[in-house]
Chain A
Amino acid sequence: MTPAQRREAVSFYLTISPWLIGFILLTVGPMLYSLTLSFTSWDLFGSPIWIGLDNYLKEMPSDPRFWQSVKVTLIYTAAYVPLELVGGLGLALLVRNRIRGIRIFRTIFYLPTVLAGVAFAVVWLWMLNPRGGLINLALEQIGIIGPRWLLDPDWALSALILMSFWGWGRAMIIYLAGLQGIPDVLYESASLDGANDWNKFWHITIPMLSPTIFFNLILSIINTFQTFTNAFVTTDGGPLDATLFFVLYLYKQAFNFRNMGYASALAWVLFIIILILTLVIFQTQRFWVYYAGEVKDE
């Protein structure tokens, strides 16, 4: 290493030191700490009691609310992720071309994602109100008596899935960027070969967009596994635990019941689930994700 190289290396470590220190103090340290805590029983006041693997092997398997929260989160993810992937793509294709007024439409579709959080949830709490909500009033006009949505254990989770369409703008924006990266030449030469829109969509748009679809898929899954605010504000996990999302249950265990050990174990289970899921999806990449650059390299 020349002195100049050494100086550059020192500069590198100096500039990235905020992130590196934060990574150690706010991520690695806490993760190891919570791993240790997950082997204890602790109410935050006394000292933690070592119970080995009991949280994982005894408490969790026999805790019906744990299983319920896993079930709720998986059902929601299985419905939400495909809907967002397809819906967001639909929106992006709609606003793709630079026709007159398209900026306004892009803005309208993206606007609700700006409201993310409590305001988003409150709007839908009112839209889905059994008596004064617009959804049931509209259904009544066509002679259907709407369900009690968020107040009905059989409908509450469906209601949360229904309102998710309002957030498709996030995926749309990412798709739009991906669509802009597809060279026009591809479509033009396909047209010369007599391809119709349907062919172009399946043989150009989808393959060229597959890295973006992949990116949205990962993002969407990680997001749904963290669902908290929507459920906390609208139903607080009810009725009858019908919307007890995993993170909501984790929050309740930690901050309502003060079971820090058990909640830490839940956090680690969440981490492992997301880790495995992302690794599996990354492995499937080579079967369906097409990177244009790869061909050129060969």
Chain B
Amino acid sequence: MNKQDRQQDVPVMRLERMRLVLRYILLAMTAFLFLLPLYWMISSSLKPAYEIFANPPVWIPDPPQWQNYRQALTELPFGRYAINTLIIAVGAVIGHVVSCILVAYGFARLRAPGKRVLFIILLATLMLPYPVVMIPQYIIFSELNWVNSFKPLIVPTFFGNAFFIFLLRQFFMQIPNDLIDAAKMDGANLLQIIWHVIIPISRSAIATVAIFTFQFAWNDFLAPLIYLQDQSKYTLMLGLSFFRSSFEVNWPYLMAASLSVAAPIIILFFITQRAFVSGITTGSLKE
């Protein structure tokens, strides 16, 4: 590199640095906008009643009312709702993981006549919104006397989910043939191949399915709203919605309840962040 070139590099570097600074400013401003509602929620949940409508707004509650949380969470049996939600979510996770692994393996690694057509049908069901089948499913489940139980929310998950089947299939297709052939040579049957070869390699993809299912079941609202009628069967989201609609809204309590209900899913998100933010669509075997 001669002297002239080096001199030209200096303004270029300065421009690069300016751009980086600009990018950070833009990032910070956007992040501020995204965090604001969350901060306002936390701050409001700790406010005494007289600060809630204060103008100009009170940013830091003084003194913070920690008892708002206890009050809000004992006004309705949120402990019961948490257990109900957990039962449904864990049931759904088991259902989706077991069924989707099996179905995805078939679509990824086995050849059969009719497979192409069936796969296209599977993809088409991705576009079928739940509300379209909601009413007939409700009638069928009510004929089975399943209304007001967790069954309509858990049992269907054992029949798989098009999105997760697709996700796992993409992953399974990348698994080298040698691994499976070697297992076959050793006389492994289909379930043994899945158990000893496929599952150990695909942990991250399976974890993604489990986390998404858990998150979806935790936040699900429409199906629980239709099927769960007794208050003792409510999920957290139903409880929260009931809390919001009952009597006069007590904002600090409502914010405290919302945060508590969302906290487990936010914590789960932070623990499993890697899978969420980077592993969703990459689905690669590297790393």
Taking Cβ atoms with an 8 Å cutoff, the residues of A that contact B are 5, 8-9, 11-16, 18-23, 25-27, 29-31, 33-34, 37, 44, 91, 94-95, 97, 99, 103, 105-112, 114-119, 122-127, 129, 131-132, 134, 137, 140-141, 165-166, 173-174, 177, 180, 218, 222, 225-226, 228-229, 232-233, 247, 250-251, 254-255, 260, 263-264, 267-268, 270-271, 274-275, 278
Q: Is there a chain A Cβ closer than 8 Å to B88's Cβ?
A: no
Main secondary structure of the interface of A (DSSP, over half): helix
B211 to chain A, nearest CB (A): 10
Taking the complex as formed, is B129 at the interface, i.e. its CB lies under 8 A from any CB of chain A?
Answer: yes
Among A15, A27, A166, A260, contact of B102 (Cβ-Cβ < 8 Å): A15
Complex Cα–Cα for A114 and B276 (A): 10
Instruction: Give A18's nearest chain B residue, CB to CB.
Output: B99
Q: Which residues of B contact A173 (CB under 8 A)?
A: 276-277, 280-281
Contact indicator A226/B130 (Cβ below 8 Å)? yes
Q: Does B125 contact A174, Cβ atoms closer than 8 Å? A: no
Does B187 count as interface, using CB distance less than 8 angstroms?
no
Q: How far is the CB of B145 from chain A (nearest CB, A)?
A: 14
- In the complex, how many residues of chain B place their beta carbon closer than 8 angstroms to a beta carbon of chain A? 85
Pair count A-B, CB < 8 A: 244
User: Are A8 and B110 within 8 A (Cβ)?
Assistant: yes
Chain A residue, CB-CB nearest to B243: A122
Tell me the bound Cα distance from A124 to B215 in angstroms.
Answer: 20
The reply to whether B111 and A8 form a contact with Cβ atoms under 8 Å apart is yes
A137 in contact with B55 (CB, 8 Å):
yes
Task: Show the binding face of B for A, using Cβ within 8 Å.
Answer: 20, 23-24, 26-27, 30-31, 33-38, 40-41, 44, 52-53, 55-57, 99, 102-103, 105-107, 110-113, 115, 118, 121-122, 125, 127-140, 156, 158-160, 162, 165, 190, 215, 219-222, 225-226, 237, 240-241, 244, 251, 254-255, 258-259, 261-262, 265-266, 269-270, 273, 276-277, 280-282
Instruction: Report the separation of the CA atoms of residues A286 and B207 in the bound assembly, to the nearest whole angstrom.
Output: 36
Q: Is the CB of A26 within 8 A of B132?
A: no
The reply to whether B262 and A115 contact each other, CB–CB distance below 8 Å, is yes
Query: From A163, which residue of chain B is reached at the shortest CB distance?
Result: B37
Residue of A30, A37, A177, A251 contacting most chain B CB atoms (<10 Å): A30
How would you classify the secondary structure of chain B's contact residues: helix, strand, loop or mixed?
Answer: helix
When A222-B127, A225-B129 are in contact, do A131 and B221 touch as well, CB less than 8 Å?
no
- The reply to whether B190 and A15 form a contact with Cβ atoms under 8 Å apart is yes
The reply to whether B40 and A134 form a contact with Cβ atoms under 8 Å apart is yes
Contact A271 B132 (CB under 8 A): yes
Partner of B125, one of A23, A29, A115, A134: A23
Q: A117-B237, A122-B258, A141-B56 are in contact. Are A18 and B136 (CB under 8 A)?
A: no
Bound Cα distance A242, B230 (Å) = 31
